[in-house]
Amino acid sequence: MDYSSSFFVVTTDGPVARISMNRPEKANGMTPDFWTELPRLMALLESDEKIRCVVLTGEGKHFTGGMDLAAFSAIAALFKEEPGRAAHALREKITRLQDTFNALERVRFPVIAAIHGACIGGGIDMITACDIRLASRDAFFSIEEINIGMTADVGTLQRLPKLIAPSIAAELAYTGRRFSAEEALSYGLLSHVEDTRDEIIAHALDMAQQIAAKSPLAIAGIKRNLAYSRDHGVADGLDYIATWNSGMLRGDDLTRAASAAMTKKQAVFDDLLGDDVLQI
């Protein structure tokens, strides 16, 4: 697989991939290539049947400072165009930006965000689309959009109220104030905090290897059903998982898991089928 990128560095360790934002001199600000490269890389990783979990990190002092000014400049240029056509183009641009983070939800494997330093603006949009969020104690967060006179539009307002108490989400969105890793942990936005960047990345990679050791078919089912249940009622969610397991539950994985439990050994599960069988 060719994971070369102008914005990210991708490394793999067996079934675990690490995607790291690599513009440390700009606080990993989300330049235009960020928005195209992230979904491309996620699609490549999805097509590799050996990849079972991804860890998302940032190089340098900060996780990400959010959208880069270069991306804002391209948006601002639209305001010089005919209003109706500009509005249509802006809507198309926003939906494309949204789809960058939708890609994190679409993939079959969990995505773990290991956060340090600043995580503001678009960074909140991104981590709310991840499955698990971890941080170092120096991490701080802000729904920054209100501070520049706009409404966040790439996922924060849609996903954050499903992750934490709606009143807290509203307060953070209305005020744009910074909040700490300890606050984020108390809100339920984070599931774990470590002292340093290196420690939280090591913790995330270890967690990813634990997840990767499980049945990839069961993991894919958990991810799909968690997302479905978030957006549907309990009855619909129960009906969906019944249908899912009636089609996806397989005796081979159950037998391997049970045998491993009895012998106190680690079960070994087959990979899912690769991208080659999906080609038309």
The DSSP output letter for 154 is: S
Q: Which of 16, 192, 18 is nearest to 8 (CA)?
A: 18
Q: Which of 158, 165, 105, 103 is nearest to 132 (CA)?
A: 105
SS3 content of the chain, % helix, strand, coil (to 5): 55, 15, 30
Domain 8-212: homologous superfamily in CATH: 2-enoyl-CoA Hydratase; Chain A, domain 1 (3.90.226.10)
Q: What does DSSP say about strands 53-58 and 16-21: parallel, antiparallel, or unpaired?
A: parallel
What are the residue boundaries of the structural domains of the chain, listed by start? 8-212, 216-275
CATH number listed for the domain at residues 216-275: 1.10.12.10
* pLDDT, block means (10 residues), the chain with 280 residues: 92 97 96 95 95 98 91 77 88 94 97 98 98 98 95 96 98 98 98 98 98 94 96 96 89 76 80 71
In 54-152, alpha helices (H): 69-77, 83-106, 122-128
Contact yes or no for 40/233 (Cβ under 8 A): no
Between CA 220 and CA 238 the distance in angstroms is 17
Contact yes or no for 134/79 (Cβ under 8 A): no
Between CA 203 and CA 274 the distance in angstroms is 28
This prediction's pTM: 0.93
